[in-house]
Amino acid sequence: MADRRRVNGPVGATIPPVFEDEDVQVQATQRTTRSRAPNGIRKMYLKTGVTPSASGSAYLEIETSGKDGVSGLKLSCTVHGPRSLPRLSPFSPHIILSTHVKFAPFATKQRRGYLRDPSERDLGTHLEAALRGAIIADRWPKSGVDIIISIIEGDQGRETSGAQGDDTWDMMNALSGCITVASAALADAGIDCVDTVAGGVAALVRGSGENDTARIVIDPIPSEHERIEAACCIAYLPARDEITNLWFKGDMPDHDMGIYSELVQQGIQASKLANRVLVESLGETVK
């Protein structure tokens, strides 16, 4: 990191000091296992209108998995606009979305830079695709809207080493949160949408045993499972029964095609559950 104008934190993972204690011993030995039902998502907290200077804003927090030292997901989203396009941009008969997703430097174990890296750009592209299907773009000609999400705290276990898991599963959880929080902020900003879009994640996980069969869970926490074989993140419009974005990654057993659609079905289920929180939260904003 050759950025010398800012005070940079240490490069690499930072782990707060953990003192030897009986609780810690117990924690270190036992691996967390999933205590929720396979078709249940974690509790989440969503509030709109948190940033006064923005046209619309929302804050989303997903609870920790119940174990100390495992952080949840904290997202803050602001929507600026609709506002006029930059002078040199061509005429547009519809609204132009621009999405920015940024991890705070301290959000994950591996410290992030101040500039957006490719994975953050990737999240932004996925988010834009998810939202574009929900917005009625031609209500706002010649204007642009900026959707800015800061991931204040990423969803990562502290004591598991960084090399163990693939980052992608965390990114999928982050993306589903981003979609939900951006949808709330768009509704708060008063930008026309056909529906409230929400994100959901489903994963095919396998236990530690040799002869464990793979099963499908929704809203997976990577530290709770021995192995995640495949996962998909879905942005779903419940009233229209439409998927606006689908992100699929992993290795699937190729003899069983039904498991693909089953995974997508479970992802839709997860996003329906998230949408219930979204609808409830939007209902509370009206005074």
66: left (phi over 0), alpha (psi -120 to 50) or beta: left
Tokens representing 123 are 């999240």
Q: Does 87 bind another protein (CB under 8 A)?
A: yes
Nearest Cα residue to 250 out of 177, 123, 165, 179: 165
Which residues 164-203 are close enough to bind another protein by CB under 8 A? 187-190, 192-196
Shortest reach from residue 29's CB to another protein, in Å: 47
12: left (phi over 0), alpha (psi -120 to 50) or beta: left
Which residues 120-139 are close enough to bind another protein by CB under 8 A? 134, 136, 139
Q: Does 6 bind another protein (CB under 8 A)?
A: no
Question: Which member of 82, 133, 200, 267 binds another protein (CB under 8 A)?
Answer: 82
**C-alpha to C-alpha distance for 73 and 258, rounded to whole angstroms:** 31
Which listed range, 13-21, 90-98, 121-129, 255-263, lies at the site for another protein (CB under 8 A)?
90-98
Shortest reach from residue 1's CB to another protein, in Å: 36
Shortest reach from residue 95's CB to another protein, in Å: 10
Mark 237-256 with x for binding to another protein (rule: CB under 8 A) and - for no binding: xxxx----------------
Which residues 42-81 are close enough to bind another protein by CB under 8 A? 49, 55, 81
> Based on CB atoms, which residue is closest to another protein, 31 or 139?
139
> Based on CB atoms, which residue is closest to another protein, 143 or 160?
143
Shortest reach from residue 199's CB to another protein, in Å: 15
* Residue ranges that bind another protein, judged by CB under 8 A: 49, 55, 81-85, 87, 89-93, 134, 136, 139-143, 187-190, 192-196, 237-240, 279, 282-283, 285-287
